[in-house]
Amino acid sequence: MEKLIQMIDIRKEYKMGDETVYANDGVTLDIYKGELVAIVGKSGSGKSTLMNIIGALDVPTSGKYFLGGKDVGKLSDNQLADIRNEMIGFVFQQYNLLPRMNILENVELPLLYAHVSSREREKRAMEALEKVGLSEKAKQMPNQLSGGQQQRVSIARALAANPSLILADEPTGALDSKTSRQVLDFFKKIHEEGNTVIMITHDNAIALEAKRVIRIADGKINFDGSSEEYAAIV
Ligand SMILES: Nc1ncnc2c1ncn2[C@@H]1O[C@H](COP(=O)(O)OP(=O)(O)OP(=O)(O)O)[C@@H](O)[C@H]1O
Ligand SMILES: [Mg+2]
């Protein structure tokens, strides 16, 4: 299997006056192409910090991070932006759809950043919307959709540029359990189609549906194994 992510002793420190917060405190992990990974841990344990580093949205204080074989620490801001646009699809808890753009335009956005032509953008965005079962909503505005539908649009947006990696930070955090289930099923489907998916969740029931679970406590990994092994300890 091809290694997509390699992290070696990643640390992220925040200095707050006299105090230092060790948000990530020596994280070492490998993630292979095609994996479905859940990252779990209490509030404040360092999950989003880690996700932001994985997504090249933030840089670690120390440690080595290779994404698709590239040493991310050696890239310029412009190169980091290119990596994000070309390789990563992001899904957030609060959907982050732009309210004045219709659904189709929202899904086209990452393709715009990737300099895809207008006709090709529309075609690929419609395909992504079809995958999440929302092509008939293409011309509607985000506020005309339910929370679950908006999250499915944000998944379509993450998929549109055909990224190597989908990162989702609490994608079901704002949804009721039935809608969470539907969103989770989309992630599983995307995974089965060959995508690499990493999702953060507070919800053990959701984590147990991933193949692999990584648990963070105080900025450190304290469990990394199959969901079957994880089930035995929670
Ligand atoms: N920009 C920042 N400045 C200072 N401290 C920060 C910053 N971002 C995060 N932290 C601290 O780092 C630690 C880890 O935060 P992080 O957001 O990664 O936690 P989390 O596991 O995602 O929590 P939650 O489940 O509540 O989202 C926390 O103690 C937090 O206060
Ligand atoms: Mg968080």
Bridge partners (DSSP) listed for residue 66? 6, 71
Q: Is residue 5 part of a domain?
A: no
Q: Is residue 62 part of a domain?
A: no
pLDDT at 37: 97
Nearest atom, ligand 1, residue 47 CA: 21
> Which residue's CA lies nearest to atom 26 of ligand 1?
43
Whether the Cβ atoms of residue 51 and residue 58 lie closer than 8 Å to each other:
no
What CATH number is associated with residue 89?
3.40.50.300
Expressed as residue numbers, the domain containing 120 is 36-47+76-231
Q: Is residue 20 part of a domain?
A: no
pLDDT at 175: 87
Q: Which ligand is closest to the CA of 169, given by its number?
A: 2
pLDDT at 227 over 90: yes
How many structural domains does the chain have? 1
Q: Is residue 19 part of a domain?
A: no
Burial class, 104, CB count within 10 angstroms (exposed 0-12 / middle 13-18 / buried 19+): buried
> Which has the higher per-residue pLDDT, 183 or 139?
139
Whether the Cβ atoms of residue 23 and residue 16 lie closer than 8 Å to each other:
no
Mean pLDDT for 11-33 is 96
Q: Is residue 94 part of a domain?
A: yes
pLDDT at 41 over 90: yes
Instruction: Tell me, using a 6 A CB cutoff, whether residue 73 lines ligand 1.
Output: no
Question: Per-residue b/e over 106-141, b at no fewer than 16 CB within 10 Å?
Answer: bbbbbbeebebeeeebbebbbebbebbebbebbeeb
Q: Is residue 10 part of a domain?
A: no
Mean pLDDT for 196-214 is 93
CA of 100 to the centre of ligand 1 (A): 30
Q: Is residue 71 part of a domain?
A: no
Q: Is residue 164 part of a domain?
A: yes
pLDDT at 1: 82
Nearest atom, ligand 1, residue 219 CA: 14
Which of 22-31, 146-155, 172-181 is predicted with the least confidence, judged by mean pLDDT? 172-181
Instruction: Tell me, using a 6 A CB cutoff, whether residue 47 lines ligand 1.
Output: yes
CA of 47 to the centre of ligand 1 (A): 8
Percent of the residues in the chain that have a pLDDT greater than 90, as a whole number: 79
Residue 101: phi and psi, rounded to 5, are: -110, 145
pLDDT at 11: 98
Q: Read off the pLDDT of residues 65-120 as tens digits, 9 standing for 90 and up.
A: 999 999 999 999 999 998 998 899 999 888 899 999 999 999 999 999 888 999 99
pTM of the model: 0.93
Question: Per-residue b/e over 71-83, b at no fewer than 16 CB within 10 Å?
Answer: ebeebeeeebeeb
Residue 41: phi and psi, rounded to 5, are: 150, 160
Instruction: Tell me, using a 6 A CB cutoff, whether residue 20 lines ligand 1.
Output: no
Nearest atom, ligand 1, residue 49 CA: 18
Q: Mean pLDDT score of the chain, rounded to an integer?
A: 94
Mean pLDDT for 131-157 is 94
Q: Read off the pLDDT of residues 164-193 as tens digits, 9 standing for 90 and up.
A: 999 999 999 888 888 888 889 989 988 998
pLDDT at 85: 87
> Which residue's CA lies nearest to atom 3 of ligand 1?
14
